[in-house]
Structure 1
Amino acid sequence: MRMRDKALGTLTVLLLMLGLPGAAGADDPAPDDSVAIGVQLNKLETDGDDCRANLVLENGLDDALESFQLDLVVFDEDGIIHRRTVVEMAPLRAGSTAVRAFRMTDTACDRVGRILVNDIAACEGPEGAIEGCADQVQVESLADVPLIR
């Protein structure tokens, strides 16, 4: 029995060293810290009868974005569509981070349940439309309200 346990232990170590399936952690993807275009809902702020959403945008592309339009759908806390809007977030320099805001008129921040990035309505650089741009957008939220795709 001891010899069998030793053999299994040796096999497990070999699988781990080779990174073969079946080894603990072998199926875990390597972390990828690079973000092509990051859209973060940072916070919501009450502004009179309106709610202002503050977004942090990270352009990790090699090109500036001359137009970057987000098609956004705002849901209330019951999951009902409250409004849909397209907002322009450009210009964004290549390799830069910027803060942009958009106002949701006649909307109380505490009534916003979540915000959906429904589509990327425009994504253009100096040479025109950027191929595959929508697939390079990653979203996150630091606010109490989720930002989803």
Structure 2
Amino acid sequence: MTAPHRAIPCLAAVLCAASLTLATPSAAQDASPSPQLDLALNAVTPTEAGGCRLSFVIRNDLGAAIEKLEAEAVLFDAEGQVATLTLFDFGTLPAGRPRVRQFDLAGQTCENIGQVLINGIGTCEGAGIAPGACLDALRLSTQTTIEVTG
């Protein structure tokens, strides 16, 4: 047997393996995007009363509407000390659509807020939404100088 005849079975095996790889969907194609609840601190503005208004953009990508969402928040001052513990009531959040929610903090100047810690989710209610789904899917970001963590 000459060398070219030995190459044909090897070439056939390589082509067969390649065709199986192309016919099988990859794991990335099978994986659906993971559910997310995106919460971004979008703006911080002083109020006329001397407080601070926090504006959040929140997008519910859990696949179902949230009927009520309350987040436990801790505000830290510029020196890193706990300044305030509060609840942010984000209310109703439709699936797949962004919403803006604003919270006025009386007696708290914007310059004195150094960090917002989302300490937990107190309430996360909606048809087909598991109790821990909101916290598990929470993704935090900021477009301000104030750090947002959770």
How high is the TM-score relative to the length of structure 2? Answer: 0.73
Equivalent-residue separation in structure 2 for 1:39 and 1:130 (angstroms): 18
Counterparts of residues 1-149 of structure 1 (less than 5 Å): 36-48=36-48, 49-126=50-127, 130-149=131-150
Whichever residue aligns with residue 103 of structure 1, its letter is: D
Q: Percent identity?
A: 27
Q: Indicate conservation of the 8 Å contact 2:42/2:57, yes or no.
A: yes
CA distance in 1, matches of 2:147, 2:53: 15
CA pair 77-105 structure 1, distance change in 2 beyond 3 A: same
Q: Give every structure 1 segment of 4 or more consecutive aligned residues whose post-TM-superposition deviation is greater than 6 Å.
A: none
- Asked if 2 retains the 8 angstrom alpha-carbon contact of 1:122 and 1:129, the reply is no
Q: In structure 1, the residue corresponding to 2:135 is in which secondary structure? A: helix
TM-score, structure 1 normalization: 0.74
SS, match of residue 66 in structure 1: strand
Tell me, what secondary structure is at the counterpart of 2:91?
coil
Q: CA contact under 8 A between 1:75 and 1:112: conserved in structure 2?
A: yes
More moved, 128-137 vs 112-121: 128-137
Rounded to whole Å, the distance in 2 between the matches of 1:55 and 1:35 is 19
Cα distance in 2 between the residues matched to 1:68 and 1:98: 12
5+ long unaligned stretches in structure 2: 1-31
How far residue 103 of structure 1 moved from its aligned partner, in angstroms, is 1.1
Cα deviations by residue, 1:29-76 (Å, 9 ceiling, x for unpaired): xxx986610000011000021100000001012110111101000000
Rate the CA distance shift 1:148–1:33 in 2: closer, same or farther, 3 A: farther
Distance change (3 Å), C-alpha of 1:142 and 1:85:
same
Q: By how many angstroms is 1:126 displaced?
A: 2.8
Structure 1 residues 113 and 33: CA distance shift in structure 2, 3 A: farther
Indicate conservation of the 8 Å contact 2:51/2:107, yes or no: yes
Distance 1:117 1:131 in 2: 15
Larger radius of gyration: 2
Task: Give 5+ residue unaligned stretches, structure 1.
Answer: 1-31
Q: Which amino acid aligns with 1:89?
A: F
Give the secondary structure class of the aligned counterpart of 1:68: strand
